[in-house]
Amino acid sequence: MTKVISSTLGYPRIGEKREWKRSLEKFWSEQISEKELLEQTERLRLDNLKKQQALGVDLIPVGDFSLYDHVLDTSIMFGVVPDRFKYDGGKVNLETYFAIARGTKDAVASEMTKWFNTNYHYIVPELENVKPALTENRPLSFYKEAKEKLGIDGKPVILGPITYLKLSKGYDEQDFPTLLQAFIPLYVQLLKELEEAGASWVQIDEPIFGTNLSDEVLAATKQAYKQFDEKVPNLKLILQTYFENIVNYKDVVELPVAAIGIDFVHGESLELLKQHGFPADKVLAAGIVNGRNVWKANLEDKLELLKNIKQYVNNNQLIVQPSSSLLHVPVTTKLEETLDPAIISGLSFADEKLEEIITLSKGLQSGKETISKEIQNNKQQVDDYNNSTNRINERVRRTIEQLDDSDAKRAQPFAERIEKQNEQLKLPLLPTTTIGSLPQTTEVRKTRTKWRKGEITTSQYEQFINNNIDKWITIQEEIGLDVLVHGEFERTDMVEYFGEKLNGFGVTEYGWVQSYGSRCVKPPLIFGDVSFDQPMTVKESVFAQSLTDKPVKGMLTGPTTILNWSFVHDDVPRNTVQNQIAFALRKEVEALEENGIQIIQVDEPALREGLPLDEKKWEAYLNDAVYAFRLATSSVQDHTQIHTHMCYSEFQDIFDAIDALDADVISIETSRSHGEIIGTFEENTYKKEIGLGVYDIHSPRIPDKEEIKQNIVRALKTISAEQFWINPDCGLKTRNQAETIGALTAMTEAAEEIRKEQLAYQKY
């Protein structure tokens, strides 16, 4: 019998306690040298490999580790460096690498956007004026490292050329086939060098095949993979797809590769397999353990799924693996001590998922009886979780079932509301504001930790938070902002905070995952029906408003973002959970309004990222997201102004949905994408008010006034001054005080100068 092979597609980079993050940030702050950074991250990388080796994984990925982002790694490997970074060929040094990601004083960072429908952000390659060349074979270096230092014959992981180019910018779509041909020889050289070094399997990631591709792209794809097969015939390539089923299934599975990796957790892959079969000359790499969620797999059900899949595979050629890279889940559950034990019993992070893969591989290979003990333990753990207290709230379920369209509609249309809002708020032309959060200093984080550990009292902690609010209200007034924020100093994260306050949520201690760069987030667990308990943000918002005559925004995270940035158990439909969250937020919105808060911002930065990869499924998703937002925000009075914020999305795809949200003001990222979003508003009529972010907060560089003025002036060519708000791209949590004050001062000065110009023009 042919052996059932176990595999994984990628492992978390960050370390059990975010050691990776700390090394990076120490390097950026010049506390450690480049040599020390590389030594520390090498130890972490090798430890990750040792874990997988000890568990008995057959195909261990190498080259999945990154110092920032795997797409950026691919760019520098091929010398894809924008002109503004003054790269002159050869291996890209670390200074340039981080400059592309974070910007410098003289060069803005490359655009950053979401990796398909996840909360991971990648650095967008810029192909304009680029002549690609293989500057270094990174997968080869990682392959040799694993082999020489640990005796691991690893599986190099490469981002495939189709996905890489489709995620890039700086070329016309009709040039795709020509551009692809420029990269193919580089991929061939890379693969040949891996083959010569002894690699047997190579994983080529092509998640783009989960999306709708044109006939021209598919034709170019066939030509590319034909060349791989001809030039490197003895290397076993795994064409790896994930996140959903393959849209062009029949075309993709016929590509000349040794194996096809398919996601059997999301989408309709099993139905496609039954309908179209699978090529007899290929290995099927079946992703059957969810690589994007944290709930324990039902081993008995998964084994039955594998047996079903096995019917379509020739000669038992099967690889058992997760549905995607484990980059999207935390490292291990072993550090979790504060959660309800029943909830912990239902969790499976990266290490536990690997154990599930090993167990399922053994059961498929040698029979169910060989893993009977593991199945029995798994069943008990799943049952303990399913039967845990506080999971089901019948009152909430009845309330959600009784909702209809009238519950998600403002009393009056925007045109009538805005007149009342203008009369009440009396804001100037081109009002200035921020997105919400202000710098979370080391002192803020340490004080929160002391409070959580009981080292200071709740009264002392609240006084500390109030002191920070008071300080920053004063700073904002001195800077000259028109609409202020309280700063969110009491919040760890814009989703986790609400997870700690709402019923039906649980929060881990070490459940961190990478979002962008060194920024890690800790998604809460939605394990039961969600409901409102008591006001969550009113105290801080009211205190901030008491310190100033200027309006202070109430700040909430929207229902779709909370859903998409949480780990949601799948025994209740996602749109039902979404509406439960929305109804709970509705009560918070009403509480803020009742306490005199005139502007309430409900952020939805993750609205677009949840879009299904298959465009045919978009309408249903967007309708659910729009309904949930309106359910959360529609019960306020006409004079209460509802804001929302979105970041790093291709807004042209969801313009109608943005309009349908019926928010009075929307703020959108635009600076890293160099104002490209403005084109969407040139092609579409938008009558509500809008703020296009005028500078990038993810970079430590402080923009000057003239740079910001250029961004404002460009926007005003498309959007009237009466509609336009001036704000940064996103929240300022990750910036320090000097960076924040410097950038906001430049922003308000730019706004004031243009405001005077506009008012002077309007007189004539």
19 is in an annotated binding site: yes
Residue 550's Cβ-count burial label (10 Å; 0-12, 13-18, 19+) is middle
266 is in an annotated binding site: no
Three-class secondary structure assignment of 353-375: HHHHHHHHHHHHHHCHHHHHHHH
Burial 698-736 (b: 16+ CB within 10 A, else e): bbbbbbebebbbebbebbbebbebebbbbbbbbbbbbbe
437 is in an annotated binding site: yes
Q: Are strands 503-506 and 318-322 parallel, antiparallel or unpaired?
A: unpaired
435 is in an annotated binding site: yes
d(CA 360, CA 373): 12
Q: For the chain, how many residues are written?
A: 764
600 is in an annotated binding site: no
Residue 174's Cβ-count burial label (10 Å; 0-12, 13-18, 19+) is exposed
d(CA 543, CA 1): 71
Other CB atoms within a 10 A radius of the CB of residue 148 amount to 9
Q: Which residues contact 408 (CB under 8 A, 6 or more apart)?
A: 627, 630, 631, 634
609 is in an annotated binding site: yes
21 is in an annotated binding site: yes
669 is in an annotated binding site: yes
Which phi and psi (to 5°) does residue 249 adopt? -55, -55
114 is in an annotated binding site: yes
Place of tokens 């090993």: 358
Q: Compute the chain's Rg from CA coordinates.
A: 26
436 is in an annotated binding site: yes
487 is in an annotated binding site: no
102 is in an annotated binding site: no
The answer to whether residue 266 is catalytic is no
519 is in an annotated binding site: yes
| Residue 325, CA distances (Å) to 287, 290, 315, 350, 754 in order | 10, 10, 27, 9, 48
488 is in an annotated binding site: yes
Amino acid identity of residue 381, one-letter, is Q
Which phi and psi (to 5°) does residue 695 adopt? -155, 155
- Active site residue: 70, 121, 328, 698, which one? 698
The catalytic residue positions are 698
Question: Which residues are known binding-site members for Zn(2+)?
Answer: 645, 647, 669, 730
* Annotation: binding site: 18-21, 114, 119, 435-437, 488, 519-520, 565, 603, 609, 645, 647, 669, 730
Annotated binding residues for L-methionine: 435-437, 488, 603
Q: Which residues are annotated as a binding site for 5-methyltetrahydropteroyltri-L-glutamate?
A: 18-21, 114, 119, 519-520, 565, 609
Known binding-site residues for L-homocysteine equal 435-437, 488, 603
